[in-house]
A = this chain, B = another copy of it.
Amino acid sequence: MSEGSLSKSGASKKREKPAKKPARGGSGRDRKSGDKRERILSAAVKVFAKSGFFDARVSDVAKAAGVADGTIYLYFTSKEHLLVSLFEDRVDKLLAFIETDLAKIGSAKDKLRRVIEVQLGLLEEERDLAEVITVIIRQSSKVLKEFATPKFTSYLDTIARVVAEGQAAGELRTDVSPSLVARATFGALDGVTFTWALGRAEEGALSRAASQVADILLRGLSPSLHEK
């Protein structure tokens, strides 16, 4: 699995207030390189994963990012907005990646297997992010209900659509609701990630899990013998 990191990625799309984006010559990319926003987000993933959203103090994130407390508020309007932005920035990339990837694949079964591989594969590379996505995002009622749910719903819809296509093509059993399958599938992956992130988080465990989960799910979704 080498889809590449979800963080430290290219240009940051949205920024609230500052137009900023300082010079950034070709020289020293090190000290004070300027990508404050990204540094803050990376720090936030670490700090939130460690302490949870509420127990994490904004000043902890600032310290981890190597900026002053107030600097965070130049890029994010509130602590909650920091969490939302984290989600936007990272989950959007995950979702975009998956959708692009699925377009290249023909069969619904292969698509489902790919969803499983990608979701688990990417999160295995970034354990802290996995914890943020599976645990932390549920901590702020506001973020969860107003922000995460819609985005999450659109992800579930993507999966449900694959299932429906597979049913139409005769690849998958038709006696189950695509939307329910999407929710159960996502939940299964989330459950596996969740216990992995909370536990010892063994190397390669998620990738190995991916193939077994896919095996079970695809057999479970295959048409019955006499349906064929």
CA separation between A51 and B145, bound complex, in Å? 11
CA separation between A215 and B194, bound complex, in Å? 24
8 Å CB interface, A83-131 against B: none
CA separation between A44 and B144, bound complex, in Å? 20
18 contacts between A and B (CB under 8 A): A51-B141, A52-B140, A54-B54, A135-B144, A149-B198, A173-B216, A173-B219, A175-B215, A177-B212, A184-B189, A185-B188, A185-B191, A186-B191, A187-B192, A216-B221, A219-B220, A219-B221, A220-B221
Interface positions of A (Cβ within 8 A of B): 51-52, 54-55, 135, 138-141, 144-145, 149, 156, 173, 175-177, 180-181, 183-192, 194-195, 198, 209, 212-213, 215-222, 224
Contact status A183-B191, CB under 8 Å: yes
CA separation between A208 and B56, bound complex, in Å? 40
Other contacts beyond A138-B138, A184-B213, A185-B188: 8, CB < 8 A:
A175-B212, A177-B212, A181-B216, A183-B195, A184-B188, A187-B191, A216-B220, A219-B219
How far in angstroms is the closest Cβ of chain B from A149?
6
Chain B residues with CB under 8 A of A54: 54, 139
How far in angstroms is the closest Cβ of chain B from A208?
9
Contact status A216-B215, CB under 8 Å: no
CA separation between A216 and B212, bound complex, in Å? 15
Chain B residues with CB under 8 A of A217: 216, 220
How far in angstroms is the closest Cβ of chain B from A147?
12
